[in-house]
Structure formats: C-alpha cells, structure tokens
Structure 1
Amino acid sequence: MNARVWIEWRATEQLLRAAGLALVSLLFLPVLIFTAVVALTGIGAGVVPETVLLLRRIAGFKRQEVERWTGEAVPELYGPVAGALGVRVRTALRDPATYRDLRWIAAHALYGWLLAYAAVIVWVVGALVDGVWAGGLGNRAVVLPLVGRLAALDSAWSRTLLEPSADARRSAELADRVEELTATRADAVAAHGAELRRIERDLHDGTQARLVALSMRVGLARRAYEKNPEAARKLLDDAQDQVEEALAELRHVVRGIHPPILTDRGLVGAVRALAAGSGLDVEVTGEGLEDARRPPAAVEAAAYFAVAESLTNAAKHSGSPTARVELARTPRALRVTVRDEGRGGADDSGGSGLLGMRRRIAALDGIVQVSSPVGGPTVIEVELPCVW
C-alpha cells in the first residue's frame, strides 16, 4: 500500500469514527433534555455538573480525533467543576466552554452522519466505476481523493465549533496570569518574612548581645578609671575588640541584604570574587555585561544570590572540582547559568536552598530551571526580566 492509499484509508477510518461519535451525540441529546427538565424543576440540580463533565469527555474525544487527523491540538479552556454543589452548578452553567460543547454536539449529531453517508456514497460510486473499468480506477480516481476531503471537512467543522474564541483565550491567559501572580506574591511574602526573621535573629543573637556587653564593659571601665587605671585599660581593650566583632557581624547582616561588593564592582566583578572564594575552580563569563548599563539593584542582588547558592551547593554536594558561571544580557532579561560536572541529583522539593532561590527569583517575575540527572551534570538556569 503506497503512502497516498494509506492516507486515504486513514481518512475512511476517521469518518467511521466520526459516524460513531455522531451516534453518541445523537444519543446524548435526550440526556441533555432530561438534565434541563430536572434542573428547571429544582430537584435535580446535581445532575447538571455531571452532565457537563460527561459532555466534556465526549468533546475531548473529538478533539483527540481532530488532532490525530490534522496534527494540531484543539485547545480546551474549561473552568474547574469542583466544590460545593451550588458552586459546581454555577461553574458548569456559566462556563462559556459548556455552550461551545453544546453547540458542537448538536451540530455533530447532524453533520457527522451526513459526512459518513457521503463517504458510503463515494465508495459505492467507486465500486460501480471499478465494475466498468478494471484495475481499481474507481478507487483511485473517485474514492480516495473525496474521502480525504470529507475527513478534512469533518475536522475543520469540529475545530471551528470546539476551538475557544480569541477573547476566551485572552481571558484564560489573564486568569492563569492572575493565579500565577497570586502564587508568586505569596512566595514573595513568605520569602520576605523569612528574610526579616533571619535579620532579626542575627541582630538579636549577635550584634545586640555584643553591644549590651560593650555597654557594660564601658560602664565598668568608667567606674574603675580613677581607682584602678590598669583594670580600666583592660576593660577598654576588651570593649574595642567587641566593637570590631559587632561591626563584623553588622557587615555580615548587610551583606545578606545587598552585598556591598555589588555596588563597588558590579555583577560580573562580584560574581568573580564570589567564585574565587567558593573553593572550586570556577570560570566566569559576562557576555554583554562588562560595558553595559547595569541592571536594577534588585535584579543584580537576585542574580548574585542565585550564583552564591548554586556554587555553595556545587561545593558541598556535587563532588566536582570545577564549575562554570555564564552571565548574559538579552534584550529584555538577564540570564544566569551555573553548571558543574558533578554527581547530579539536585532536588528542591525538600525545602533546600534551591527553593529559596526560586522564591527570590519568582518575586521578580523570573524563571528558574534546574536540570540535574543522576550522574550529572547539574545546570541551573535563571532568567530575570530586565529593561536595560
């Protein structure tokens, strides 16, 4: 069987499936009538969402058939039918997709049969032609081309009836975007709260305790100054040491908020300094960033901390002595890629630093992709929206 004949036999199969589905559509119409009657009486409202879900399954089967024939998927934009009975009924009745499916199933109960009957007529005509001219001329000249066109017509009509409108697609995209931003905002609030608690803990347990001890030593030194100058001098020396330790802890806290090295050296220089202290042999490239306008401070900080977390994980867990950091400028984003050739298996589902990285990046509407198959390599890609 050559390719053309195989395609046309597929068309025949498609039409037979359409005829079967048209029978299902025809049998489903009484179900719709029953649902409408019991819903109007008020005693069978619970039937409505179940009928709509069954309608979605039938329409979904037709979408699969259209995709099977054309190679292009037919999008479906359904609202979730879940929750209390009243919510499920309202969702089922207010969803525009419900009326698209109803329009399709009513039309398909008619044109599905018509196209199937037309295919039968075409096959009969082809058989009659074969009876006059031998060699299957009827099949080649009449049946095969027309059956393929009938199958294409069935798919085109079904796609037109089932495909969401442009407004519906825009509304669905907007709803998805709102849901995504809601989740992102929740993550950002959680990350912000965790960061505030960390800063408070560092200040309370470290810097504040040292400043209290410093105040006490200065007070003791002042009391002992006239009676025992040596003891006072010793207390002042200790106080000076504590001042230096408090300053070091304050620098550590500030570095966790926005590393000063970012302000001094820029992102590429800061990442190179970070790489130098990572304990790994790290190659850093900054494509298009050396002489470019600097990104906003929040974007720089997020990229810096992403690299810091990635290199820390690589040094602790990968077993690889080397890593590579690529910083690249794109027209509307800053892209960061960190790669190591270690053992792989990185997973952010357990609440690790990767999860914190995702939250920090998501707060800026960025994207984090982690590829870490067992055996390596581990590649972490970060993309942060940025207007240069």
Structure 2
Amino acid sequence: MGTTVRQAARATVRLFLAAAMTFGLYLFITVLLITATATLAVVGAWMLPETVLLIRRIAGAKRQMVAAWTGREIPEAYQLLTGTARERVRAAVRDPGTATDLRWMIAQYVYGWLFVLAVPLWPLGLLVDGVGCGLLHRRAVVLPLIGRLADLDARWSEALLKPSPKARLAVRVEELARTRAGAITAHGAELRRIERDLHDGTQARLVSLSMRIGLAKRAYDRDPEAAREMLDDAQDLAEEALAELRHVVRGIHPPILTDRGLVGAVRALAAGSGLDVAVRVDGLEDPGVRAPAAVEAAAYFVVAEALTNAAKHSGSTRASVRLERLRTGLRTVVRDEGLGGADETAGSGLLGMRRRVAALDATFAVSSPAGEPTVIEVELPCVW
C-alpha cells in the first residue's frame, strides 16, 4: 500500500501541474485574441511571431513534464523565426510546428478540465469516514485512478506534441540550408587562403625565378661566371617555390594522413603542439580501419586548430585528444585544462571548425565555461 500511496502522490503532483497549466492556458486566450485582432489589423502583425515563441515555450514546458513522468523525450521541430518582421511572420505561419502546438493547446482546452477536477481525488482518497475496509476500498479505487489519469494526460500530450514528418522535414531542410551556407563560406575562405598563399609566396618566387633565368641567358655569352651565379640563385628560388607548393598542398590534404593515417597524424600533432597532450584511441588501433579521406581530413584539422587555440589562449600546458570509432561515424574530442571562455565570435577559429565539419553533416559542440576546461566534440558521420 505504501508504494501505491507514493505513486499516487507523484501522480497528484503531475495532475496539479497539468491543472495549473490548463488554468494558465485559459488566461492565455486573452493573449491569443489580442494577437489575432492585431494581426488582422496588419499594424500589429509583429505580435504574431512573439506569441508563437510564447506558445513554443509553453509547449516545451509540457514536453518536459511528460518526459519527467514517462522517461521519454518528446523531440521539437521548429523553424527559426529570424529576419525582417515580414519574414518572421511568414515563418511563424508556415512552420508546421506552430500547427502542432496549436492543436495540442486546443485539445488541452477541451480535456484539461478533467485534470482540474481530478486534483481533489488525492485528499478524497485519504479522508476517513469510517474505519477498516472502508478506507482500504476507497484507496483501492481512487489512488489507481489518479495514476491512470496522469498516464492518460502524458499519452495524449505525447501524441499531440510529437512533430509531424512534415515538420521534421522542414527543420531538416532548413538545417541543411544553414550548413550548406556555412560550408560554402568555409570553402570560399579556404580558396581565398590558397589563392593568397600562391600569390604571395609561390607566384612571387616563380616570377623572380623567370627573371633570373632571363638575366642568366643574356649574360651567358659575355659573363659566364655571373650567369652561373644567377642560375644558382634560380635553383634556390625553384626549391623555395616547391617548398611553398608543398605547404599549400599540405593545407588542402596533409600528406601525413596518407602516410600514417589519422591516428599517426594526430599523435604527430600532439607531439609538436608544445603541450603535454594525452591521445586516446578507441576502435581505430587497426591500421586497416580507415575513415573516408574527407572525414579524416576534417578530424585532423579540428584537432590541429583546437590544439593551436589551446597553446595560444588556454593558459594551460595540458590537453587531451580522443578519437573514437562509432557505429555511425567518428567522434573527435579535444579538451584542454585551461581558463575557458572560448567564443566563436572572437576569432578563435571555432567558427571555422564548425563550418568545415558542417559540410560533412557533422555535429559540433563546444563547452567552455569561464575558469573551466574547454571541450570541443565533433561527430563526423561515415560508413566504415
């Protein structure tokens, strides 16, 4: 009986919260009416996306309540409300998630009063008009009913708040559009870097090389010794130009990845970073286990940039790198024991890393609280 009472108490709290939310939603009708009137009058259309955001927060609170009761998360699928006022209004109206939330809200108006009436069932189940079997009979009937009502509310809410396939598709398309834009930006920046390296380094040396060879040809008949010196200089310039080209190629796809694989290349990065770096490898010990070249290159550049940032900005001498083979891809985690506070907008290279991996539909997460370690985690999808 003790277990039943505890479960009923928990269910009563659940029903009380549902009743409170229902009461709040009835008050929220005023906001909906004002927004509808203002939108129809056009001049107040800016209120629509703000009201939709409020509805999203209310629906999100309900999702959390259901997840706390059932242990199952209800996913969200909303489009971003950004841009001009007209674009925000259009996105709010066209977002399938808006229709999903409104459907749940209308249903809550219809059946929510059941939970308002159900809250008094708990004290009713404990009141004693008589003794003995009368109390047991009342508890046996009332307490399980409270739990069933809480389950019913959770099932209804889960079914109504679950995003539709259309909503999931719309969010996915929007996400792909953002990552594609980021990938294009990263690609453009990479092309500009290569162009700059070629123009400032290789091209300048090749121009100088051509001039030296021309001067050597003109001086060959009258001053062979001077011509020989010019050719020696030209040879030095040719070697410098080759070194520059190797540097540019290394920035596109490091040769060390081809020679040693990702694990060997990362260990080489760790050794040359100037930090005390611990490298952990899970599932990649076999040299024959290789991710696609693009995935390895992305992981390599993430580790290289993260270790460079750690050496420059973290204030720590220790870091760690973890490479983990997953069933669906490759996880790369870089952690430094520094001061934290890393900011993507502060030119630390984090935005460049995010854009680089976005082209591969990867996930990118940064945790860098002030005064605490910075952790960069990337999951790159691939087929092994």
Q: Same fold (TM over 0.5)?
A: yes
- Contact preservation (8 Å) 2:70, 2:154: no
Q: Is the CA contact 1:79–1:95 (under 8 Å) kept in the aligned structure 2?
A: no
User: Are 1:368 and 1:383, in contact at CA under 8 Å, matched by a contact in 2?
Assistant: yes
Q: Does 2:202 align with 1:207?
A: yes
Distance in 2 (CA, whole Å) between partners of 1:333 and 1:156 is 37
The residue number in structure 2 matching 1:314 is 310
**What residue in structure 2 maps to residue 172 of structure 1?**
167
| Number of the residue aligned with 2:180 | 185
Going from structure 1 to structure 2, the CA distance change for 1:97 and 1:310 (only over 3 Å counts) comes to closer
Who is 1:333 aligned against? Answer: 329
1:163 aligned counterpart, secondary structure: helix
1:189 Cα deviation after fit: 0.5
Deviations 1:53-87 (A, max 9, x none): 68878877776776676676666766778954974
User: 1:152 is matched with which residue: 147, 153, 159?
Assistant: 147
Cα distance change, pair 317–62 in 1 and its aligned pair in 2 (3 A) = closer
Confirm or deny: 8 A CA contact 1:289 1:329 kept in the other structure.
Answer: no
Q: Which has the larger radius of gyration?
A: 1
Q: Separation in 1 of the partners of 2:307 and 2:29?
A: 62
Map of 1:383 onto structure 2: 379
Give the alignment of 1:30-41 within 5 angstroms: none
Give the number of aligned pairs: 375
- 2:345 aligned counterpart, secondary structure: coil
Match of 2:357 among 349, 354, 361: 361
Deviation string, structure 1 residues 104-150 (Cα, Å, up to 9, x no partner)? 423445x4576579x49x94x986xx44x358x645541x4444334
State the partner residue of 2:220: 225
Cα distance, 1:356 vs structure 2: 1.1
8 Å contact from structure 2 (residues 4, 143) kept in 1: no
Q: CA 1:11–1:81 in 2, change beyond 3 Å: closer, same or farther?
A: same
Q: CA RMSD in A?
A: 4.3
Is 1:98 the equivalent of 2:102?
yes
Q: 1:89 to 1:284 in 2, by over 3 A?
A: closer
Whole-angstrom CA distance in 1 between matches of 2:107 and 2:19: 17
SS in 2 for 1:334: strand
Contact 1:115 1:150 in 2 (8 A): no
The aligned counterpart of 1:324 is 320
Equivalent residue letter for 2:168: E
Match status 1:270 vs 2:265: yes
Aligned to 1:259: 254
- Separation in structure 2 between the aligned mates of residue 34 and residue 320 of structure 1, nearest angstrom: 55
Partner of 2:274: 279
User: How far off is 1:187 after superposition?
Assistant: 0.9
Higher mean alpha-carbon deviation, 296-305 vs 184-193, is at: 296-305
Closer, same or farther: CA 342–242 of 1 in aligned 2, 3 Å: same
CA contact (8 A) 2:19 2:112 kept: no
The answer for the alignment partner of 2:300 in structure 1 is 304
Task: For 1:88 and 1:338, locate their aligned partners in 2 and report how far apart those are by CA, in whole Å.
Answer: 37
SS across alignment from 1:335: strand
Equivalent of residue 371 in structure 1, options 367, 370, 377: 367
Aligned pairs for 1:130-149 (under 5 A) are: 130-131=128-129, 133-134=130-131, 138-142=134-138, 144-149=139-144
Question: Counterpart of 2:363 in structure 1: which amino acid?
Answer: I
Please give the TM-score of this superposition, normalised by the length of structure 2.
0.76
3-state SS in 2 of match to 1:226 = coil
* Distance (whole Å) between structure 1 residues aligned to residue 214 and residue 355 of structure 2: 46
Q: Provide, for residues 17-37 of structure 1, a one-character-per-residue CA deviation record: whole Å limited to 9, x for no partner.
A: 76777777789999999999x
Distance (whole Å) between structure 2 residues aligned to residue 80 and residue 113 of structure 1: 34
Q: Report if aligned partners of 2:79, 2:91 keep a CA contact under 8 Å in 1.
A: no
**Structure 1 pair 149/359, CA: closer, same or farther in 2 (3 Å)?**
same
- Aligned partner letter, 1:219: G
Q: Aligned partners of 2:74 and 2:280: how far apart in 1?
A: 43
Instruction: Verify the 8 A CA contact 1:76 1:164 in the aligned structure 2.
Output: no
What is the identity, as a one-letter code, of the residue corresponding to 1:367?
A: T
| TM-score normalized by the length of structure 1 | 0.76
C-alpha spacing 1:345/1:167, structure 2 compared with 1 (3 Å)? closer
Larger CA deviation: 100-109 vs 295-304 = 100-109
Q: What is the distance in 2 between the residues matched to 1:57 and 1:337?
A: 32
After TM superposition, the structure 1 stretch with the greater mean CA deviation from structure 2, 236-245 or 78-87, is 78-87
SS in 2 for 1:328: strand
